[in-house]
Amino acid sequence: MVLSTTEENYLKAIFKLSLKSPENISTNNIAAETQTTAASVSDMMKRLAEKQLVAYEKYKGVQLTDIGKNIAIELIRSHRLWEVFLVDKLGYKWDEVHIIAEELEHIKTPDLISRLESFLGFPTNDPHGDPIPDADGNINNHEPISLNELKALEKGVIVLVKEQSTEFLQYLDRIKLNIGSRIEVLEVNSYDNSRLVRIAAADTVFLSDKVSDNLIVKRV
């Protein structure tokens, strides 16, 4: 099925809304999400309904069909893999890549995304910490926890920094730990709960319990 970029972006917007409140997606919600008017949203919903990508009844709201949902998840998968590529392989900063990935995600060459995924070593999260759906469309949505709740040999990605002091952030810079950093806990010292952590695929560092408590991660 050939879809326009606009149509695809609507499917993505509806999917994102469905993660927040699956029951109740109105044309107004979609208009707010896509920054357009409710009138153009209802026109678009009729078009997508004809293509059997959404189920749309005027007073009942909008739902993605299975086909529509699969297309949305594929776009998100492609988007997040391109973001990893841009940061890891082309050296872009993590705040620069979203807008580029918004365009790249629409390229539909067969095999491109699975080759990209394997070239990148099957990453599980994008540079912002969001999970990358696998080829079957499964998304791993783990709840954020403190790094000191990760056990030995568990892996995670840093999604948030609780403490914002300059001293703390400069310390994180020095040990090259950032939002989006992938980490693996190698050892936990049961005496003081400090832990030896591998950052990305290279450096290892000892983190105190206090530092770990201030780093929020998602298990991957």
Least CB distance to Zn ion at residue 31 (A): 21
Residue number of the CB closest to Zn ion reads 98
Least CB distance to Zn ion at residue 159 (A): 14
CA dihedral 88, 91, 94, 98 (to 10 degrees): -90
199 to each of 27, 81, 83, 175, how far by Cα in Å? Answer: 44, 20, 19, 9
Least CB distance to Zn ion at residue 101 (A): 5
Nearer to Zn ion, 83 or 184 (CB): 83
88 neighbors 120 (Cβ within 8 angstroms) = yes
Binding site for Zn ion (CB under 5 A): 98
Rounded to whole angstroms, the Cα distance separating 130 from 139 reads: 10
- Mode of pairing for the β-strands spanning 155-161 and 54-57: unpaired
Rounded to whole angstroms, the Cα distance separating 20 from 169 reads: 31
Nearer to Zn ion, 181 or 214 (CB): 181
Nearer to Zn ion, 98 or 142 (CB): 98
17 Cβ contact partners less than 8 Å away, ≥ 6 residues apart: 25, 29, 30, 33
Nearer to Zn ion, 76 or 188 (CB): 76
Nearer to Zn ion, 153 or 160 (CB): 160
Least CB distance to Zn ion at residue 80 (A): 7
Rounded to whole angstroms, the Cα distance separating 27 from 15 reads: 13
Least CB distance to Zn ion at residue 85 (A): 12
